[in-house]
Chain A
Amino acid sequence: MIVVRQKPLDEICDVVAGHRRVLLVGCNTCAAVSLAGGETEVLALLEALALAAFRKGSHIEFASAVVSRQCEPEFVDTLETEGFDAVLSLGCGAGVAFIASTEEIPVYPALDTLFIGAATGFARWQAECSACGSCVLAETAGICPMTRCAKGILNGPCGGVQAGRCELGDRDCAWVLIHDRLERQGKVEQFAVIGGLKDHSVKSTCCEWDLSGTHGGAR
């Protein structure tokens, strides 16, 4: 899923300053599971913003709504924005952008979108995918070096690995993990293969996709 986290409150206050009526919109899918954009977080942010505005002596009225998914028309179409002069989205970047495409009023992000990840515990996430568009996981024992290596490099560890940890000190070295897993799978010879250059064209040349011919059809 897409992992998000709330921006600093001051930054959010700054973008809504100058508006009169702001609608906070939560997203009940990824952002809710990230504990950053579900109903609870929408109400908590609403109260925090109202209090901050009150302290500054500014008169901003806040209201809230939560949709199932901010990235699909069938849910976004149900939003009632009449009478508001700004929307504050608690969705991922796609949610913000999609609502913005359907509204004339400004739509602002309350969250930063971090990565595609998997849950490793309560509010704990492992970044697993950067949506690079040319997956190498078949060669890397299911561990994404584009995401989990700080430099996003192919072909093995850089010189910065120390006791199996990244030189940045915040993670295990992805290439040591890949090497060890390949070894356990009896496929360490895969590590010796010099892969082709990364194909970045998928991400850099197209942002509008029609995949109807490649998937199973309409839901």
Chain B
Amino acid sequence: MSLRNALAAGTFAITSEVAPPKGTDISEMLGAAESMRGYVHALNVTDNQASVMRLCTLAGCIHLRQHGHDPVLQVTCRDRNRLAMQSDLLGAASFGITNVLALTGDHVAIGDHPTAKPVFDLESVHLIQAMSSLNDGSDLAGNELHGRPDFLIGAVVTPDADPIRPQLAKFDKKIRAGASYFQTQAVYDAESFREFVDYAHGSGVKVLAGIVVLRSARMARFMTEKIPGITVPQPLIEQLERSSDAERTGVEIAARFIDQVRDVCDGVHIMAVGAEHLVPHVLMAADLERVA
């Protein structure tokens, strides 16, 4: 079942992601995708993630699709202006790639080409408007399209942002611009996440909980300190520290979280950050059925 159908049918949606290679050898990306086949509805393909230049997300999506996966085109605003972004979106639609996820994108300063010109001609809200506008048959300048796409428009939100009010105001703007589902930044506190989902469901959008599978106490600490909007609660860090098999504990933590929130949210988006083979373990530990 595709992501679009799962969300429409109210089936618990499961997505994960793969990163295109630095270079032209796509075997590792396809291998990662293969290891998750049958466990996820769709696979996001990241867009020069962390501002590190890689094979383009559109090509990555085309490869996944040719291998029978349902790809989600991640689109950031960092590297392209409004012409290029709309043009790439139409290109994606022409290949049947219509799951799109709008992100602002990291700053170039953190990546491997730190002196590049950051574009940000659009940002996530205007990008979502562009996707909606293309769906309606015209571009951002109001020109009519010959053949229109039918994008399933996704966006991201950070439920634990500090401060939270500007983040929620922007979340509301994304909904008004046309986003129909959201995947969240990694969340670990089930109680506060449930509150966020309550808020989001007030607007009728679907929410996939963002799950980063922890593999060590060090990783958990690093994410809390260095990655904006992620807080791994201290008891979980201690649990990882005490564990003789931290990877397995990380899988259990992820599965337990899914179990705690699956009755309120619409699905999960699992980010395995290079350990995609763990994704099926997390889903099996959470007793989620294969998606088939």
Which residues of A does B touch, CB under 8 Å? Answer: 150-164, 167-168, 175-176, 179, 183, 188, 191-192, 194, 197-198, 200
Q: Are B185 and A194 touching (Cβ within 8 A)?
A: no
List chain A residues, Cβ under 8 A from B129.
194
Closest to B171 in A: A156
Point out which of B118, B121, B126, B177 has the most chain A C-beta atoms below 10 A from its C-beta: B126
CB distance from A87 to the nearest CB of B (A): 28
B104 within 8 A of A: yes
In Å, the complex CA distance between A153 and B107 comes to: 11
Q: Are A168 and B161 touching (Cβ within 8 A)?
A: no
List chain B residues, Cβ under 8 A from A168.
107, 109-110
In Å, the complex CA distance between A162 and B229 comes to: 6
In Å, the complex CA distance between A150 and B51 comes to: 14
Besides the known contacts A162-B229, A167-B107, 7 further A-B residue pairs in the complex with CB atoms under 8 A apart: A154-B126, A161-B161, A161-B167, A175-B166, A176-B163, A194-B173, A200-B121
In Å, the complex CA distance between A157 and B140 comes to: 22
Q: Are B162 and A164 touching (Cβ within 8 A)?
A: yes
Q: Are A153 and B162 touching (Cβ within 8 A)?
A: no
Closest to A155 in B: B125
CB distance from A168 to the nearest CB of B (A): 6
List chain B residues, Cβ under 8 A from A191.
166, 169
Q: Which of B88-117 contact A (CB under 8 A)?
A: 103-104, 106-107, 109-110
Partner of A197, one of B106, B140, B158: B140
List chain B residues, Cβ under 8 A from A161.
161-163, 166-167, 228-229
B165 within 8 A of A: yes
Q: Are B107 and A155 touching (Cβ within 8 A)?
A: no
CB distance from B125 to the nearest CB of A (A): 4
List chain B residues, Cβ under 8 A from A160.
106-107, 228
CB distance from B48 to the nearest CB of A (A): 14
List chain A residues, Cβ under 8 A from B163.
161, 164, 176, 179
A-B contact number at CB 8 A = 96
List chain B residues, Cβ under 8 A from A154.
123, 125-126
In Å, the complex CA distance between A160 and B126 comes to: 18
A197 touching B156 in the complex, CB below 8 Å, given contacts A162-B229, A192-B169 = no
Chain B contact residue count (CB 8 A cutoff): 37
Closest 3 CB pairs of A and B: A156-B170, A153-B123, A162-B228
In Å, the complex CA distance between A155 and B77 comes to: 13
Q: Are B123 and A151 touching (Cβ within 8 A)?
A: yes
List chain B residues, Cβ under 8 A from A153.
77, 104, 120, 123
In Å, the complex CA distance between A68 and B117 comes to: 34
Q: Are B169 and A156 touching (Cβ within 8 A)?
A: yes
List chain B residues, Cβ under 8 A from A157.
161, 166-167, 170
Closest to B81 in A: A200
Q: Are A162 and B169 touching (Cβ within 8 A)?
A: no
CB distance from B119 to the nearest CB of A (A): 9
Q: Are B166 and A159 touching (Cβ within 8 A)?
A: no
B256 within 8 A of A: no
B277 within 8 A of A: no
Q: Are B162 and A162 touching (Cβ within 8 A)?
A: yes
List chain B residues, Cβ under 8 A from A175.
166
Point out which of B106, B110, B166, B167 has the most chain A C-beta atoms below 10 A from its C-beta: B166
Partner of B120, one of A152, A162, A183: A152
In Å, the complex CA distance between A159 and B170 comes to: 10
List chain A residues, Cβ under 8 A from B122.
197
B41 within 8 A of A: no
Closest to B118 in A: A151
Closest to A198 in B: B121
Q: Are A197 and B166 touching (Cβ within 8 A)?
A: no
Closest to A160 in B: B228
B269 within 8 A of A: no
